[in-house]
């Protein structure tokens, strides 16, 4: 996803190719990538994609002490903890309702609002963390199912990042235009649909060609 979006950004705004950019892939799986000169230099993922942002059913970053507590005091097995972290946490675990952001945004339940607020807070918090790695922020790109389609989430993240100079144009955001940065924004803000399948296919073709040449 990050490879595709970085390529599209270079096509859309070549003047930003060497700038400090954060791509926010927000969906059922969610992560951030910090790029400088078009190359990844940091990500919210760790050893596995479980780390980082709150996701649909995955916890994201969590205090390791919680895992010890679950095993020592709740008598949960390693398998039980693994299932909890991957399948019963995140938006679903906090809301107790759904892992689907559309359902949560449409709900009047307090727990649904808490899940949405946590998602927005953690996304903004970790975008700021990526900006620390980059020593500034010139460009922010939203992608993924939530990033591309949930204007409320983009707007709320933008509000939390106002101190970084992020301004989002309300009309452009409502229409999910390619450029949604507002007047006076110190950060260029984009919505770029991703295409992970195209990148995977491209790599597969390249590998097949290499094998054919070697043979």
pLDDT surpassing 80 at residue 31: yes
pLDDT surpassing 70 at residue 88: yes
Mean pLDDT over 53-79 rounds to 96
pLDDT of residue 134: 97
pLDDT of residue 27: 95
Tokens representing 99 are 């892992």
How far from 198 is each of 55, 178, 201, 206, CA to CA, in Å?
Answer: 24, 20, 5, 12
Q: How confident is the model at residue 22 (pLDDT cuts 50, 70, 90)?
A: very high
Phi and psi (nearest 5°) for 29? -105, 140
Domain boundaries, the chain: 2-53+110-214
pLDDT tens track for 89-148: 999 999 999 999 999 999 999 999 999 999 999 999 999 999 999 999 999 999 999 999
pLDDT surpassing 70 at residue 43: yes
| Count of Cβ atoms closer than 10 Å to residue 52 Cβ | 23
Look at domain 2-53+110-214 and name its CATH class: alpha beta
pLDDT of residue 157: 98
pLDDT of residue 215: 62
pLDDT tens track for 156-184: 999 999 999 999 999 999 999 999 999 99
Residue 78: CB partners within 8 Å, gap ≥ 6? Answer: 71
> Rounded to an integer, what distance in angstroms lies between the CA atom of residue 176 and that of residue 149?
7
Q: What is the DSSP string of 20-76?
A: EEEEEE-SSS-EEEEEETTEEEEES--SSTTSSS--SS---S--HHHHHHHHHTS--
Share of the chain above pLDDT 70, in %: 99
| Mean pLDDT rounded to a whole number for the chain | 94
pLDDT of residue 210: 79
């Amino acid at each position: 996803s990050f490879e595709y979006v970085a390529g599209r950004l270079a096509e859309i705004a070549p003047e930003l190719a060497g700038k400090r950019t954060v791509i926010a892939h927000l969906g059922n799986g969610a992560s951030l990538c910090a790029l400088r000169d078009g190359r990844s230099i940091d990500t919210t993922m760790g050893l596995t994609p479980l780390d980082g942002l709150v996701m649909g059913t995955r916890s994201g970053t969590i205090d390791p002490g919680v895992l010890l507590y679950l095993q020592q005091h709740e008598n949960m097995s390693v398998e039980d903890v693994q299932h909890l972290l991957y399948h019963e946490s995140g938006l679903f675990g906090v809301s107790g309702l759904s892992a689907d952001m559309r359902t949560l945004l449409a709900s009047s339940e307090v727990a649904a609002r808490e899940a949405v607020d946590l998602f927005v807070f953690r996304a903004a918090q970790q975008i700021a963390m990526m900006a620390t790695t980059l020593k500034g922020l010139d460009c922010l790109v939203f992608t993924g199912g939530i990033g591309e389609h949930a204007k409320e989430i983009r707007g709320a993240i933008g509000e939390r990042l106002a101190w970084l100079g992020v301004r989002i144009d309300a009309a452009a955001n409502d229409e999910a235009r390619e450029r949604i940065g507002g007047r006076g924004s110190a950060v260029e803000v984009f919505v770029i649909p991703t295409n992970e399948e195209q990148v995977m296919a491209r790599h597969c073709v390249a590998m097949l060609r290499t094998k054919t040449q070697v043979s």
